[in-house]
């Protein structure tokens, strides 16, 4: 049985199918829209970056190119091990097993936090936010990337999968905590319909995945996201 740090939010897409999640990551945001938006707010050249909920560490090498130091934190020990394998040979990257609610990091030790589709989904993530307040240095930045269910093809699919999701409540949650919202449009761009089908099946129940595939031609999917950010 694989070790999973206490407080982890079940993430069946990557926990059960890390190879398919890799295909999803490769398809997502080929234009680098998210990276450009974050860099425009707070670049990380020479900084210490925390990638929280880093999964298999897909984003670690890109941060390592310009950051002085990168730490990936991931509650699922198997995924953390995969992340370590990915960054073998990158001396400025470390990966720790841990969860957002109890970060294995000292006070005021991080400049830039990147959280992509992990734990910080709105109401309920207050313990993680308290930990970020503890570890992020003044002058740093916190970036949280999550779905925008109000628009785009992917947003429509997401709403169909979670009819009780309340985008207004999520937005109120972040703005009350001093986060700004940058609405962004990214895209999925797949190599084949088989890849799109496989990724839809790890993201949605089988029937919905089949309906999305039937209704949506081609290899591209427009995908609205929110970049929530705050500079402590």
Ligand X SMILES: C[S@@+](CC[C@H](N)C(=O)[O-])C[C@H]1O[C@@H](n2cnc3c(N)ncnc32)[C@H](O)[C@@H]1O
53 binds ligand X (CB under 6 A): yes
What part of residues 11-50 is at the interface with ligand X (CB under 6 A)?
A: 11, 13-14, 25
Coil, helix or strand at residue 126: helix
Task: Yes or no: say if 111 and 193 are a contact pair by the CB < 8 Å rule.
Answer: no
In angstroms, what is the minimal distance from the CB of 218 to ligand X? 24
Residue from 7, 43, 78, 156 touching ligand X (CB under 6 A): that is: 7
Binding-site size, ligand X (CB under 6 A): 23
Instruction: Please give the residues from 57 up to 76 whose contact with ligand X meets the rule CB under 6 A.
Output: 58, 74-76
What ranges in 141-192 are assigned the alpha helix state H? 153-161, 167-176
Nearest CB to ligand X, comparing residues 77 and 139: 77
Strand blocks (E) in 42-193? 48-52, 69-74, 93-97, 110-116, 136-147, 180-189
By CB under 6 A, is residue 52 in contact with ligand X? Answer: yes
Per-residue three-class SS string for 22-56:
HHHHHHECCCCHHHHHHHHHCCCCCCEEEEECCCC
Beta carbons of 203 and 17 less than 8 angstroms apart:
no
Among 1, 2, 3, 9, binds ligand X (CB under 6 A): 9
Distance from CA of residue 129 to its chain's centroid? Answer: 15
Binding mask 152-191 toward ligand X (x if CB under 6 A, else -) reads ----------------------------------------
- Which residues between 90 and 109 bind ligand X (CB under 6 A)? 99-101
Binding residues for ligand X, per CB under 6 A? 7-9, 11, 13-14, 25, 52-55, 58, 74-76, 79, 99-101, 116-119
């Amino acid at each position: 049985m694989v070790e999973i740090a206490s407080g982890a939010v079940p993430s069946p897409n990557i926990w059960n199918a890390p190879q398919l999640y890799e295909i999803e990551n490769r398809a997502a945001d080929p234009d680098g829209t998210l990276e450009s938006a974050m860099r425009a707010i707070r670049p990380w050249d020479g900084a210490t970056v925390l990638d929280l909920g880093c999964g298999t560490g897909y984003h670690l090498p890109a941060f390592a190119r310009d950051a002085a130091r990168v730490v990936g934190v991931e509650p699922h020990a198997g995924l953390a091990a995969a992340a370590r394998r990915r960054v073998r040979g990158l001396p400025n990257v470390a990966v720790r097993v841990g969860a957002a609610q109890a970060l294995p990091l000292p006070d005021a030790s991080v400049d830039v936090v990147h959280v992509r589709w992990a734990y910080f989904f709105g109401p309920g993530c207050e313990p993680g936010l308290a930990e970020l307040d503890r570890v992020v240095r003044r002058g740093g930045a916190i970036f949280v990337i999550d779905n925008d269910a109000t628009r785009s093809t992917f947003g429509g699919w997401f709403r169909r999968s979670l009819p009780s999701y309340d985008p207004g409540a999520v937005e109120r949650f972040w703005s009350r905590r001093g986060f700004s919202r940058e609405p962004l449009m990214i895209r999925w761009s797949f190599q084949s319909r088989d890849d799109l089908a496989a990724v839809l099946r790890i993201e949605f129940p089988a029937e919905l995945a089949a309906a999305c595939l039937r209704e949506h031609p081609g290899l591209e999917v427009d995908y609205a996201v929110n970049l929530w950010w705050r500079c402590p």
